Protein backbone atom coordinates (compact mmCIF):
# COMPACT_ATOMS: atom_id res chain seq x y z
CA UNK A 1 0.00 0.00 0.00
CA UNK A 2 1.28 3.43 -0.88
CA UNK A 3 2.03 5.84 1.94
CA UNK A 4 -0.49 8.34 0.53
CA UNK A 5 -3.28 5.77 0.65
CA UNK A 6 -2.39 4.90 4.23
CA UNK A 7 -2.47 8.57 5.24
CA UNK A 8 -5.86 9.04 3.60
CA UNK A 9 -7.25 5.97 5.35
CA UNK A 10 -5.85 7.14 8.70
CA UNK A 11 -7.24 10.64 8.23
CA UNK A 12 -10.67 9.32 7.29
CA UNK A 13 -10.55 7.06 10.32
CA UNK A 14 -9.75 9.98 12.65
CA UNK A 15 -12.53 12.12 11.19
CA UNK A 16 -15.04 9.29 11.39
CA UNK A 17 -14.09 8.75 15.01
CA UNK A 18 -14.50 12.43 15.86
CA UNK A 19 -17.73 12.88 13.93
CA UNK A 20 -20.05 13.02 16.90
CA UNK A 21 -17.72 14.95 19.15
CA UNK A 22 -16.54 18.13 17.47
CA UNK A 23 -18.39 18.43 14.24
CA UNK A 24 -21.60 20.45 14.23
CA UNK A 25 -24.04 19.03 11.74
CA UNK A 26 -25.67 21.14 9.09
CA UNK A 27 -29.37 20.43 8.94
CA UNK A 28 -31.06 20.68 5.53
CA UNK A 29 -33.33 23.71 5.00
CA UNK A 30 -36.81 22.48 4.05
CA UNK A 31 -38.59 25.85 3.88
CA UNK A 32 -38.13 29.58 4.42
CA UNK A 33 -40.45 32.12 6.04
CA UNK A 34 -40.35 35.85 5.41
CA UNK A 35 -41.48 38.14 8.20
CA UNK A 36 -41.56 41.94 7.87
CA UNK A 37 -37.77 42.07 8.16
CA UNK A 38 -36.49 38.73 9.40
CA UNK A 39 -35.98 35.77 7.10
CA UNK A 40 -36.30 32.36 8.76
CA UNK A 41 -35.03 28.93 7.73
CA UNK A 42 -36.98 25.82 8.68
CA UNK A 43 -34.65 22.86 9.24
CA UNK A 44 -35.35 19.28 10.33
CA UNK A 45 -33.34 18.48 13.47
CA UNK A 46 -34.87 15.05 14.12
CA UNK A 47 -37.10 12.72 12.10
CA UNK A 48 -38.74 9.28 12.14
CA UNK A 49 -40.25 9.94 15.58
CA UNK A 50 -43.63 8.71 16.79
CA UNK A 51 -45.81 11.62 17.93
CA UNK A 52 -43.36 13.74 19.92
CA UNK A 53 -45.86 15.29 22.32
CA UNK A 54 -43.66 17.69 24.25
CA UNK A 55 -40.24 19.25 23.64
CA UNK A 56 -38.25 21.16 26.26
CA UNK A 57 -34.75 22.65 26.35
CA UNK A 58 -32.36 21.17 28.91
CA UNK A 59 -29.59 23.65 28.05
CA UNK A 60 -28.59 25.69 25.00
CA UNK A 61 -28.02 22.67 22.75
CA UNK A 62 -29.96 19.77 24.24
CA UNK A 63 -33.66 18.99 23.95
CA UNK A 64 -35.63 16.51 26.01
CA UNK A 65 -38.73 15.19 24.21
CA UNK A 66 -41.53 12.75 24.93
CA UNK A 67 -43.10 10.33 22.45
CA UNK A 68 -46.70 9.22 22.94
CA UNK A 69 -45.93 5.52 23.45
CA UNK A 70 -43.88 6.31 26.58
CA UNK A 71 -40.33 7.23 25.57
CA UNK A 72 -38.43 10.18 26.98
CA UNK A 73 -35.29 10.98 24.98
CA UNK A 74 -32.54 13.55 24.71
CA UNK A 75 -31.44 15.14 21.45
CA UNK A 76 -28.06 16.82 21.13
CA UNK A 77 -28.52 19.52 18.49
CA UNK A 78 -24.79 19.89 17.87
CA UNK A 79 -24.16 16.25 17.04
CA UNK A 80 -27.65 15.00 16.16
CA UNK A 81 -27.17 12.23 18.71
CA UNK A 82 -30.33 10.88 20.35
CA UNK A 83 -30.42 8.97 23.59
CA UNK A 84 -33.33 7.20 25.28
CA UNK A 85 -33.46 8.38 28.89
CA UNK A 86 -36.50 6.49 30.12
CA UNK A 87 -39.33 4.30 28.98
CA UNK A 88 -42.45 4.87 31.10
CA UNK A 89 -43.46 1.32 32.05
CA UNK A 90 -47.20 1.74 32.67
CA UNK A 91 -48.29 4.02 29.81
CA UNK A 92 -51.64 3.18 28.24
CA UNK A 93 -51.37 4.33 24.62
CA UNK A 94 -54.46 4.35 22.44
CA UNK A 95 -55.67 7.10 20.07
CA UNK A 96 -55.08 10.39 21.96
CA UNK A 97 -53.96 8.62 25.15
CA UNK A 98 -50.36 8.03 26.15
CA UNK A 99 -47.37 9.99 27.39
CA UNK A 100 -48.45 13.62 26.96
CA UNK A 101 -47.12 16.80 28.61
CA UNK A 102 -43.71 17.25 30.21
CA UNK A 103 -41.80 20.06 31.87
CA UNK A 104 -38.41 20.48 33.49
CA UNK A 105 -37.77 22.08 36.83
CA UNK A 106 -36.75 25.75 36.41
CA UNK A 107 -33.49 25.08 38.25
CA UNK A 108 -32.14 21.74 37.05
CA UNK A 109 -28.88 22.11 39.04
CA UNK A 110 -30.63 22.29 42.38
CA UNK A 111 -33.72 20.21 41.52
CA UNK A 112 -32.93 17.93 38.55
CA UNK A 113 -36.56 16.95 38.01
CA UNK A 114 -38.54 16.08 34.92
CA UNK A 115 -42.34 16.07 35.36
CA UNK A 116 -44.59 14.03 33.07
CA UNK A 117 -48.33 13.53 32.63
CA UNK A 118 -49.57 10.29 31.05
CA UNK A 119 -52.53 7.94 30.85
CA UNK A 120 -52.46 4.54 32.47
CA UNK A 121 -55.01 1.75 32.91
CA UNK A 122 -55.93 -0.63 35.69
CA UNK A 123 -58.36 -3.45 34.83
CA UNK A 124 -61.16 -1.31 33.34
CA UNK A 125 -60.43 2.25 34.43
CA UNK A 126 -58.20 4.85 32.77
CA UNK A 127 -56.26 7.35 34.89
CA UNK A 128 -53.98 10.31 34.31
CA UNK A 129 -50.82 10.31 36.37
CA UNK A 130 -48.46 13.12 37.25
CA UNK A 131 -45.01 11.68 37.90
CA UNK A 132 -41.74 13.32 38.92
CA UNK A 133 -38.48 11.76 37.66
CA UNK A 134 -34.91 12.67 38.60
CA UNK A 135 -32.33 13.25 35.86
CA UNK A 136 -29.09 11.48 36.73
CA UNK A 137 -26.37 11.50 34.08
CA UNK A 138 -28.17 10.11 31.06
CA UNK A 139 -31.08 8.36 32.67
CA UNK A 140 -34.22 9.27 34.54
CA UNK A 141 -34.54 7.55 37.89
CA UNK A 142 -36.68 7.46 40.99
CA UNK A 143 -40.20 7.89 39.58
CA UNK A 144 -42.48 9.41 42.20
CA UNK A 145 -46.22 9.52 41.55
CA UNK A 146 -47.36 12.98 42.67
CA UNK A 147 -51.04 12.61 41.70
CA UNK A 148 -53.43 10.20 40.01
CA UNK A 149 -56.76 11.50 38.68
CA UNK A 150 -59.60 9.95 36.63
CA UNK A 151 -59.03 9.59 32.89
CA UNK A 152 -61.10 8.52 29.91
CA UNK A 153 -60.91 7.41 26.26
CA UNK A 154 -60.22 11.08 25.41
CA UNK A 155 -60.01 14.56 27.00
CA UNK A 156 -57.02 13.81 29.21
CA UNK A 157 -55.25 17.12 28.50
CA UNK A 158 -52.47 17.63 29.46
CA UNK A 159 -49.68 20.13 29.77
CA UNK A 160 -47.28 21.08 32.53
CA UNK A 161 -45.27 24.21 33.17
CA UNK A 162 -43.81 26.27 35.98
CA UNK A 163 -45.34 29.58 36.98
CA UNK A 164 -43.13 32.62 37.56
CA UNK A 165 -43.35 32.05 41.34
CA UNK A 166 -41.84 28.55 41.09
CA UNK A 167 -45.10 26.63 41.48
CA UNK A 168 -45.90 23.72 39.17
CA UNK A 169 -49.04 24.05 36.99
CA UNK A 170 -50.89 21.04 35.55
CA UNK A 171 -53.64 21.61 32.93
CA UNK A 172 -55.96 18.60 33.19
CA UNK A 173 -58.78 17.37 30.90
CA UNK A 174 -62.42 16.87 31.88
CA UNK A 175 -62.14 13.10 31.12
CA UNK A 176 -65.41 13.29 29.12
CA UNK A 177 -67.33 13.93 32.35
CA UNK A 178 -70.38 16.19 32.35
CA UNK A 179 -69.77 17.27 35.95
CA UNK A 180 -66.01 17.31 36.70
CA UNK A 181 -65.11 20.67 35.10
CA UNK A 182 -67.70 22.61 37.14
CA UNK A 183 -67.03 20.68 40.36
CA UNK A 184 -64.33 22.55 42.26
CA UNK A 185 -63.62 19.44 44.37
CA UNK A 186 -62.69 17.34 41.29
CA UNK A 187 -59.14 17.66 39.87
CA UNK A 188 -60.31 17.22 36.24
CA UNK A 189 -60.94 20.10 33.83
CA UNK A 190 -58.72 22.32 35.99
CA UNK A 191 -55.57 24.32 36.26
CA UNK A 192 -53.90 22.75 39.30
CA UNK A 193 -51.16 24.60 41.19
CA UNK A 194 -48.69 22.77 43.42
CA UNK A 195 -45.30 22.78 45.08
CA UNK A 196 -42.41 20.93 43.46
CA UNK A 197 -43.24 17.82 45.54
CA UNK A 198 -46.91 17.88 44.52
CA UNK A 199 -48.20 19.30 47.81
CA UNK A 200 -50.74 22.14 48.04
CA UNK A 201 -49.14 25.61 48.35
CA UNK A 202 -50.24 27.55 51.43
CA UNK A 203 -51.38 30.47 49.24
CA UNK A 204 -53.65 28.53 46.84
CA UNK A 205 -57.02 30.27 46.30
CA UNK A 206 -59.02 27.40 47.85
CA UNK A 207 -57.29 26.43 51.11
CA UNK A 208 -56.05 22.83 51.07
CA UNK A 209 -56.94 22.34 47.37
CA UNK A 210 -54.74 22.11 44.26
CA UNK A 211 -57.49 23.76 42.20
CA UNK A 212 -56.41 27.16 40.87
CA UNK A 213 -58.98 27.72 38.08
CA UNK A 214 -61.75 25.57 36.58
CA UNK A 215 -64.39 25.05 33.88
CA UNK A 216 -62.08 23.58 31.17
CA UNK A 217 -62.71 20.87 28.57
CA UNK A 218 -59.45 19.62 27.07
CA UNK A 219 -56.38 21.84 27.26
CA UNK A 220 -53.40 21.09 25.02
CA UNK A 221 -51.34 24.22 25.56
CA UNK A 222 -50.03 26.02 28.68
CA UNK A 223 -47.46 28.80 28.91
CA UNK A 224 -46.37 31.64 31.18
CA UNK A 225 -45.18 35.06 29.96
CA UNK A 226 -42.15 36.98 31.26
CA UNK A 227 -44.58 39.04 33.34
CA UNK A 228 -46.02 35.84 34.85
CA UNK A 229 -49.33 35.81 32.94
CA UNK A 230 -50.64 32.25 32.40
CA UNK A 231 -52.25 31.28 29.08
CA UNK A 232 -53.83 28.03 27.89
CA UNK A 233 -55.14 26.66 24.60
CA UNK A 234 -58.18 24.43 24.65
CA UNK A 235 -60.23 22.27 22.29
CA UNK A 236 -63.87 23.27 21.93
CA UNK A 237 -66.56 20.77 20.98
CA UNK A 238 -67.74 21.38 17.40
CA UNK A 239 -67.11 25.12 17.74
CA UNK A 240 -65.10 27.64 19.76
CA UNK A 241 -61.57 26.48 20.26
CA UNK A 242 -60.05 28.83 22.81
CA UNK A 243 -57.07 30.64 24.22
CA UNK A 244 -57.65 31.60 27.85
CA UNK A 245 -55.85 33.92 30.23
CA UNK A 246 -55.79 32.14 33.58
CA UNK A 247 -56.55 33.94 36.83
CA UNK A 248 -56.92 32.35 40.25
CA UNK A 249 -60.31 31.06 41.33
CA UNK A 250 -62.03 31.93 38.06
CA UNK A 251 -64.52 29.72 36.30
CA UNK A 252 -64.09 29.42 32.51
CA UNK A 253 -67.57 28.03 31.95
CA UNK A 254 -67.34 24.57 30.36
CA UNK A 255 -69.68 22.75 29.90
CA UNK A 256 -72.37 25.34 30.77
CA UNK A 257 -70.76 27.90 28.49
CA UNK A 258 -68.74 27.17 25.38
CA UNK A 259 -66.27 29.87 24.31
CA UNK A 260 -67.53 33.45 24.13
CA UNK A 261 -70.62 34.44 26.07
CA UNK A 262 -72.74 34.89 22.97
CA UNK A 263 -75.84 32.67 23.26
CA UNK A 264 -78.81 33.90 25.34
CA UNK A 265 -78.39 30.99 27.82
CA UNK A 266 -74.68 31.73 28.17
CA UNK A 267 -75.23 35.44 28.71
CA UNK A 268 -77.83 34.64 31.37
CA UNK A 269 -75.44 32.34 33.29
CA UNK A 270 -72.56 34.82 33.06
CA UNK A 271 -74.81 37.59 34.38
CA UNK A 272 -75.63 35.59 37.49
CA UNK A 273 -72.27 33.95 38.22
CA UNK A 274 -68.63 34.80 37.75
CA UNK A 275 -67.58 33.30 34.36
CA UNK A 276 -64.48 34.25 32.36
CA UNK A 277 -64.49 34.53 28.57
CA UNK A 278 -61.58 33.30 26.44
CA UNK A 279 -59.32 36.02 25.00
CA UNK A 280 -59.69 34.39 21.57
CA UNK A 281 -61.98 31.74 20.12
CA UNK A 282 -62.09 30.01 16.73
CA UNK A 283 -65.10 28.72 14.79
CA UNK A 284 -64.64 26.67 12.58
CA UNK A 285 -62.29 24.89 14.95
CA UNK A 286 -58.53 24.67 14.36
CA UNK A 287 -57.63 22.09 17.07
CA UNK A 288 -55.08 24.17 18.99
CA UNK A 289 -52.24 22.34 20.70
CA UNK A 290 -48.87 23.56 22.04
CA UNK A 291 -48.64 27.18 23.17
CA UNK A 292 -45.49 29.15 24.00
CA UNK A 293 -44.88 32.75 24.99
CA UNK A 294 -42.20 34.38 22.80
CA UNK A 295 -40.26 37.48 23.81
CA UNK A 296 -36.77 37.14 22.35
CA UNK A 297 -35.00 39.74 20.20
CA UNK A 298 -33.91 36.91 17.85
CA UNK A 299 -37.18 37.16 15.92
CA UNK A 300 -38.21 40.76 16.70
CA UNK A 301 -41.52 40.53 14.79
CA UNK A 302 -42.68 37.83 17.22
CA UNK A 303 -41.74 39.66 20.42
CA UNK A 304 -44.51 39.64 23.03
CA UNK A 305 -46.57 37.04 21.15
CA UNK A 306 -48.07 33.67 21.89
CA UNK A 307 -46.95 31.02 19.42
CA UNK A 308 -49.72 28.48 18.94
CA UNK A 309 -49.47 25.28 16.92
CA UNK A 310 -52.53 23.46 15.60
CA UNK A 311 -53.56 19.95 14.57
CA UNK A 312 -56.65 20.31 12.38
CA UNK A 313 -55.52 23.53 10.69
CA UNK A 314 -51.92 22.24 10.55
CA UNK A 315 -50.24 25.56 11.24
CA UNK A 316 -48.10 27.76 13.45
CA UNK A 317 -49.93 30.90 14.55
CA UNK A 318 -48.54 34.11 15.95
CA UNK A 319 -50.98 35.69 18.40
CA UNK A 320 -49.65 39.18 19.02
CA UNK A 321 -50.32 40.37 22.58
CA UNK A 322 -51.09 43.86 23.85
CA UNK A 323 -48.32 45.44 25.97
CA UNK A 324 -50.05 44.38 29.18
CA UNK A 325 -50.56 40.86 27.80
CA UNK A 326 -54.28 40.97 28.56
CA UNK A 327 -55.56 40.80 24.97
CA UNK A 328 -54.65 39.39 21.56
CA UNK A 329 -54.31 42.20 19.06
CA UNK A 330 -53.42 40.35 15.85
CA UNK A 331 -53.11 36.86 14.39
CA UNK A 332 -50.97 35.51 11.56
CA UNK A 333 -50.98 31.94 10.24
CA UNK A 334 -47.74 30.30 9.06
CA UNK A 335 -46.85 27.07 7.23
CA UNK A 336 -50.47 25.96 6.87
CA UNK A 337 -50.60 22.30 5.70
CA UNK A 338 -46.85 22.26 4.91
CA UNK A 339 -45.76 19.88 7.66
CA UNK A 340 -49.09 18.37 8.69
CA UNK A 341 -50.39 18.35 12.24
CA UNK A 342 -48.22 20.28 14.71
CA UNK A 343 -48.39 19.24 18.38
CA UNK A 344 -45.65 21.02 20.31
CA UNK A 345 -43.76 24.31 20.26
CA UNK A 346 -40.88 25.59 22.35
CA UNK A 347 -38.25 28.33 22.27
CA UNK A 348 -34.51 27.73 22.66
CA UNK A 349 -32.45 29.83 25.12
CA UNK A 350 -31.13 31.78 22.10
CA UNK A 351 -34.64 32.52 20.78
CA UNK A 352 -35.03 29.98 17.96
CA UNK A 353 -38.43 28.27 17.69
CA UNK A 354 -38.84 24.48 17.65
CA UNK A 355 -41.94 22.58 16.54
CA UNK A 356 -42.89 18.90 16.68
CA UNK A 357 -45.24 17.32 14.12
CA UNK A 358 -47.95 14.78 14.96
CA UNK A 359 -48.58 12.91 11.70
CA UNK A 360 -48.07 9.42 13.10
CA UNK A 361 -51.00 9.89 15.47
CA UNK A 362 -54.50 8.42 15.15
CA UNK A 363 -55.85 11.13 12.85
CA UNK A 364 -53.43 11.85 9.96
CA UNK A 365 -54.46 14.50 7.45
CA UNK A 366 -54.49 14.01 3.65
CA UNK A 367 -50.94 13.59 2.30
CA UNK A 368 -49.50 12.62 5.69
CA UNK A 369 -47.60 10.97 7.29
CA UNK A 370 -44.60 11.60 5.05
CA UNK A 371 -41.96 8.84 5.04
CA UNK A 372 -39.77 10.62 7.62
CA UNK A 373 -42.54 11.79 9.98
CA UNK A 374 -42.71 12.71 12.75
CA UNK A 375 -40.20 15.52 12.78
CA UNK A 376 -38.80 18.19 15.05
CA UNK A 377 -38.37 21.43 13.10
CA UNK A 378 -36.23 24.42 13.94
CA UNK A 379 -37.07 27.98 12.84
CA UNK A 380 -34.13 30.37 13.00
CA UNK A 381 -33.00 33.59 11.27
CA UNK A 382 -30.85 33.31 8.14
CA UNK A 383 -29.46 35.77 5.58
CA UNK A 384 -30.52 33.98 2.41
CA UNK A 385 -33.53 31.96 1.31
CA UNK A 386 -33.08 28.70 -0.57
CA UNK A 387 -36.82 28.22 -1.13
CA UNK A 388 -39.53 30.67 -2.13
CA UNK A 389 -40.41 32.00 1.35
CA UNK A 390 -43.80 31.54 2.94
CA UNK A 391 -45.39 34.56 4.56
CA UNK A 392 -47.85 34.90 7.42
CA UNK A 393 -51.48 35.21 6.36
CA UNK A 394 -54.57 36.45 8.20
CA UNK A 395 -56.85 33.65 9.37
CA UNK A 396 -59.93 33.02 7.26
CA UNK A 397 -63.15 33.09 9.23
CA UNK A 398 -66.14 31.64 7.48
CA UNK A 399 -68.52 32.06 10.39
CA UNK A 400 -71.50 34.14 9.38
CA UNK A 401 -71.27 34.16 5.60
CA UNK A 402 -72.73 31.19 3.80
CA UNK A 403 -70.26 29.50 1.49
CA UNK A 404 -70.51 26.36 -0.66
CA UNK A 405 -71.13 22.83 0.59
CA UNK A 406 -67.57 21.62 0.13
CA UNK A 407 -66.08 24.54 2.09
CA UNK A 408 -68.61 24.02 4.87
CA UNK A 409 -67.93 20.29 4.89
CA UNK A 410 -64.20 20.96 5.19
CA UNK A 411 -64.78 23.40 8.03
CA UNK A 412 -67.15 21.29 10.11
CA UNK A 413 -67.14 17.60 9.14
CA UNK A 414 -63.92 16.72 7.32
CA UNK A 415 -61.66 16.47 10.35
CA UNK A 416 -63.59 13.43 11.59
CA UNK A 417 -65.35 11.97 8.55
CA UNK A 418 -62.35 12.70 6.24
CA UNK A 419 -62.25 14.36 2.81
CA UNK A 420 -63.38 11.15 1.07
CA UNK A 421 -66.25 10.57 3.54
CA UNK A 422 -64.76 7.23 4.58
CA UNK A 423 -64.22 8.12 8.25
CA UNK A 424 -61.63 6.50 10.54
CA UNK A 425 -61.85 2.76 11.31
CA UNK A 426 -63.59 2.07 14.66
CA UNK A 427 -63.80 5.76 15.56
CA UNK A 428 -65.57 7.93 13.00
CA UNK A 429 -68.14 6.13 10.82
CA UNK A 430 -68.20 6.60 7.04
CA UNK A 431 -70.67 8.93 5.36
CA UNK A 432 -70.07 7.16 2.03
CA UNK A 433 -72.91 4.72 1.46
CA UNK A 434 -74.19 5.01 5.05
CA UNK A 435 -77.90 4.36 5.54
CA UNK A 436 -78.06 7.35 7.95
CA UNK A 437 -76.86 9.65 5.13
CA UNK A 438 -78.62 8.36 2.03
CA UNK A 439 -81.86 7.34 3.76
CA UNK A 440 -84.68 9.49 5.03
CA UNK A 441 -83.73 13.21 5.27
CA UNK A 442 -85.49 13.52 8.64
CA UNK A 443 -83.07 11.16 10.41
CA UNK A 444 -80.02 12.85 8.92
CA UNK A 445 -81.25 16.31 9.92
CA UNK A 446 -81.86 15.01 13.45
CA UNK A 447 -78.26 13.76 13.68
CA UNK A 448 -76.67 17.11 12.82
CA UNK A 449 -79.14 19.15 14.89
CA UNK A 450 -78.95 16.93 17.96
CA UNK A 451 -75.56 15.25 17.78
CA UNK A 452 -75.12 11.53 18.48
CA UNK A 453 -73.89 9.36 21.31
CA UNK A 454 -74.19 5.73 22.31
CA UNK A 455 -73.62 2.69 20.15
CA UNK A 456 -74.66 2.81 16.49
CA UNK A 457 -74.12 0.49 13.53
CA UNK A 458 -72.96 1.93 10.22
CA UNK A 459 -72.45 -0.36 7.21
CA UNK A 460 -72.24 -3.38 9.49
CA UNK A 461 -69.64 -1.92 11.92
CA UNK A 462 -70.29 -0.72 15.45
CA UNK A 463 -69.27 2.75 16.66
CA UNK A 464 -69.53 4.10 20.16
CA UNK A 465 -68.20 7.66 20.26
CA UNK A 466 -69.74 11.10 20.47
CA UNK A 467 -70.62 13.43 17.66
CA UNK A 468 -71.18 17.08 18.64
CA UNK A 469 -74.30 18.99 17.64
CA UNK A 470 -74.20 21.41 14.72
CA UNK A 471 -77.37 23.29 15.64
CA UNK A 472 -75.37 26.54 15.73
CA UNK A 473 -75.15 26.49 11.91
CA UNK A 474 -77.78 28.37 9.91
CA UNK A 475 -80.52 26.44 8.09
CA UNK A 476 -78.99 27.41 4.79
CA UNK A 477 -75.53 26.20 5.85
CA UNK A 478 -76.83 22.86 7.09
CA UNK A 479 -78.83 22.41 3.89
CA UNK A 480 -75.66 22.90 1.86
CA UNK A 481 -73.63 20.48 3.97
CA UNK A 482 -76.27 17.75 3.96
CA UNK A 483 -76.90 18.12 0.24
CA UNK A 484 -73.14 17.86 -0.24
CA UNK A 485 -72.81 14.62 1.79
CA UNK A 486 -75.85 13.11 0.08
CA UNK A 487 -74.50 13.75 -3.42
CA UNK A 488 -70.79 12.99 -2.95
CA UNK A 489 -68.58 10.04 -1.90
CA UNK A 490 -70.58 7.90 -4.35
CA UNK A 491 -73.88 8.90 -2.66
CA UNK A 492 -76.79 9.84 -4.97
CA UNK A 493 -79.62 11.04 -2.78
CA UNK A 494 -82.03 13.95 -2.97
CA UNK A 495 -81.17 17.49 -1.90
CA UNK A 496 -82.15 18.84 1.49
CA UNK A 497 -83.59 22.35 1.64
CA UNK A 498 -83.23 25.08 4.27
CA UNK A 499 -87.01 24.96 4.74
CA UNK A 500 -86.89 21.27 5.74
CA UNK A 501 -84.22 22.06 8.31
CA UNK A 502 -86.05 25.07 9.68
CA UNK A 503 -89.23 22.93 10.08
CA UNK A 504 -87.39 20.21 11.94
CA UNK A 505 -85.53 22.65 14.21
CA UNK A 506 -88.94 23.50 15.74
C1 LIG B 1 -65.60 15.63 16.20
C2 LIG B 1 -65.83 14.61 15.20
C3 LIG B 1 -67.04 14.72 14.31
C4 LIG B 1 -67.39 15.78 13.52
C5 LIG B 1 -66.67 17.11 13.39
C6 LIG B 1 -68.57 15.36 12.81
N7 LIG B 1 -68.92 14.10 13.16
FE8 LIG B 1 -70.45 12.98 12.41
N9 LIG B 1 -70.01 11.50 13.69
C10 LIG B 1 -68.99 11.49 14.58
C11 LIG B 1 -69.06 10.29 15.38
C12 LIG B 1 -68.08 9.91 16.46
C13 LIG B 1 -70.18 9.59 14.96
C14 LIG B 1 -70.70 8.27 15.55
C15 LIG B 1 -71.47 8.58 16.82
C16 LIG B 1 -71.77 7.37 17.67
O17 LIG B 1 -70.93 6.47 17.73
O18 LIG B 1 -72.84 7.36 18.31
C19 LIG B 1 -70.75 10.36 13.87
C20 LIG B 1 -71.85 9.97 13.14
C21 LIG B 1 -72.38 10.69 12.08
C22 LIG B 1 -73.51 10.24 11.28
C23 LIG B 1 -74.27 8.94 11.43
C24 LIG B 1 -73.41 7.75 11.05
C25 LIG B 1 -72.92 7.82 9.63
O26 LIG B 1 -71.71 7.68 9.45
O27 LIG B 1 -73.72 8.01 8.72
C28 LIG B 1 -73.72 11.21 10.33
C29 LIG B 1 -74.78 11.22 9.24
C30 LIG B 1 -72.77 12.26 10.58
N31 LIG B 1 -71.98 11.91 11.63
C32 LIG B 1 -72.68 13.44 9.85
C33 LIG B 1 -71.82 14.49 10.15
C34 LIG B 1 -71.83 15.76 9.46
C35 LIG B 1 -72.74 16.13 8.31
C36 LIG B 1 -70.85 16.52 10.04
C37 LIG B 1 -70.51 17.96 9.75
C38 LIG B 1 -71.57 18.91 9.93
C39 LIG B 1 -70.26 15.73 11.09
N40 LIG B 1 -70.87 14.50 11.12
C41 LIG B 1 -69.22 16.16 11.88
C42 LIG B 1 -68.00 12.45 14.72
C43 LIG B 1 -68.01 13.67 14.08
How many CB atoms sit inside 10 A of residue 169's CB? 22
Q: Which of 349, 369, 391 is the last residue of a domain?
A: 391
How many CB atoms sit inside 10 A of residue 20's CB? 13
Q: What is the pLDDT of residue 2?
A: 53
Q: Which residues pair with 108 in a beta bridge?
A: none
Q: Which of 391, 420, 437 is the last residue of a domain?
A: 391
Q: What percent helix, strand, coil does the chain show, rounded to 5?
A: 15, 35, 50
Q: How far is CA 280 from the centre of its chain?
A: 16
User: Is any atom of ligand 1 closer than 6 Å to the C-beta of 417?
Assistant: yes
- For 470, the domain range is 405-505
Using most ligand atoms within 8 A of CB, pick from 450, 452, 457 the residue to mutate for ligand 1: 452
357 shares a domain with 385: yes
User: Has residue 271 been placed in a domain?
Assistant: yes
Handedness of CA 409, 220, 230, 71 (dihedral sign): negative
User: Is any atom of ligand 1 closer than 6 Å to the C-beta of 218?
Assistant: no
Among candidate residues 110, 213, 103, the one with its CA nearest the CA of residue 168: 103
User: Has residue 124 been placed in a domain?
Assistant: yes
Among candidate residues 31, 28, 39, the one with its CA nearest the CA of residue 299: 39
Q: What is the pLDDT of residue 415?
A: 86
Q: What are phi and psi of 447, to 5 degrees?
A: -60, -45
418 shares a domain with 347: no
223 shares a domain with 148: yes
Q: 447 CA to middle of ligand 1, Å?
A: 8
User: Has residue 278 been placed in a domain?
Assistant: yes
User: Is any atom of ligand 1 closer than 6 Å to the C-beta of 430?
Assistant: yes
Which protein residue's CA is at the shortest distance from atom 37 of ligand 1?
Answer: 413
199 shares a domain with 172: yes
Do you find a cis peptide bond into 158, omega within 30 degrees of 0? yes
User: Has residue 2 been placed in a domain?
Assistant: no
Among candidate residues 255, 263, 323, 317, the one with its CA nearest the CA of residue 286: 317
**Count of domains in the chain?**
2
User: Is any atom of ligand 1 closer than 6 Å to the C-beta of 464?
Assistant: yes
Residues 6+ apart with CB under 8 A from 326: 229, 245, 279
Q: 450 CA to middle of ligand 1, Å?
A: 11
Q: 449 CA to middle of ligand 1, Å?
A: 11
386 shares a domain with 489: no
217 shares a domain with 336: yes
DSSP state for residue 300 in the 8-state scheme: G
User: Has residue 400 been placed in a domain?
Assistant: no
Give me the tens of pLDDT residue by residue for the chain, a chain 506 residues long.
455 555 554 444 444 444 444 557 889 899 999 999 999 999 999 999 999 999 999 999 999 999 999 999 999 999 999 999 999 999 999 999 999 999 999 999 999 999 999 999 998 899 999 999 999 999 999 999 999 999 999 999 999 999 999 999 999 999 999 999 999 999 999 999 999 999 999 999 999 999 999 999 999 999 999 999 999 999 998 889 999 999 999 999 999 999 999 999 999 999 999 999 999 999 989 999 999 999 999 999 999 999 999 999 999 999 999 999 999 999 999 999 999 999 999 999 999 999 999 999 998 888 999 999 999 999 999 999 999 999 999 997 655 566 899 999 988 999 899 999 999 988 899 999 999 999 999 999 999 999 998 899 999 999 988 898 999 899 999 999 999 999 999 999 999 999 999 999 88
Q: 89 CA to middle of ligand 1, Å?
A: 35
Report how far residue 38's alpha carbon sits from residue 36's, in angstroms, rounded to the nearest whole number.
6
Which protein residue's CA is at the shortest distance from atom 39 of ligand 1?
Answer: 413
Contact predicate 178/255, CB 8 Å: yes
191 shares a domain with 132: yes
Report how far residue 78's alpha carbon sits from residue 437's, in angstroms, rounded to the nearest whole number.
55
Q: Which of 391, 419, 441 is the last residue of a domain?
A: 391
Residue 476, domain CATH: 1.10.760.10
User: Has residue 399 been placed in a domain?
Assistant: no
Residue 128, domain CATH: 2.120.10.30
Q: What is the pLDDT of residue 403?
A: 83
- Helix spans in 441-495 (H): 441-450, 475-486
264 shares a domain with 368: yes
241 shares a domain with 204: yes
Do you find a cis peptide bond into 426, omega within 30 degrees of 0? no
60 shares a domain with 173: yes
377 shares a domain with 479: no
Residues 6+ apart with CB under 8 A from 44: 27, 28, 30, 372, 375, 376, 377, 378
Q: 49 CA to middle of ligand 1, Å?
A: 31
Contact predicate 151/177, CB 8 Å: no
User: Has residue 435 been placed in a domain?
Assistant: yes
430 shares a domain with 349: no
User: Has residue 13 been placed in a domain?
Assistant: no
Q: What are phi and psi of 18, to 5 degrees?
A: -85, -10
Amino acid sequence: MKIRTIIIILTLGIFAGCKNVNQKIEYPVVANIKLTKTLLAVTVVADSLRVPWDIQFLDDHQIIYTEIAGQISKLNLQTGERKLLYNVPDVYQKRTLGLLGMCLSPNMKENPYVFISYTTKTSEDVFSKLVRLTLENDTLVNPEVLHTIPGSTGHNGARLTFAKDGKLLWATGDAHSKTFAQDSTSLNGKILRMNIDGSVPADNPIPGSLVYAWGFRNMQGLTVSDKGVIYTSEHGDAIEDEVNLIKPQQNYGWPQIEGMHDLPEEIAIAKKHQRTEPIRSWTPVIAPSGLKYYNSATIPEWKNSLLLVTLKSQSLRQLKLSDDGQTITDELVFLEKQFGRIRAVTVSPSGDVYLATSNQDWNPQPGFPKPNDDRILKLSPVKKAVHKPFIGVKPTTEKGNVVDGLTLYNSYCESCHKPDGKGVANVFPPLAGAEQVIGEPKKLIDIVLGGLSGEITVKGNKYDQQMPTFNFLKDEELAKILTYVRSNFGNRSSEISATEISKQRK
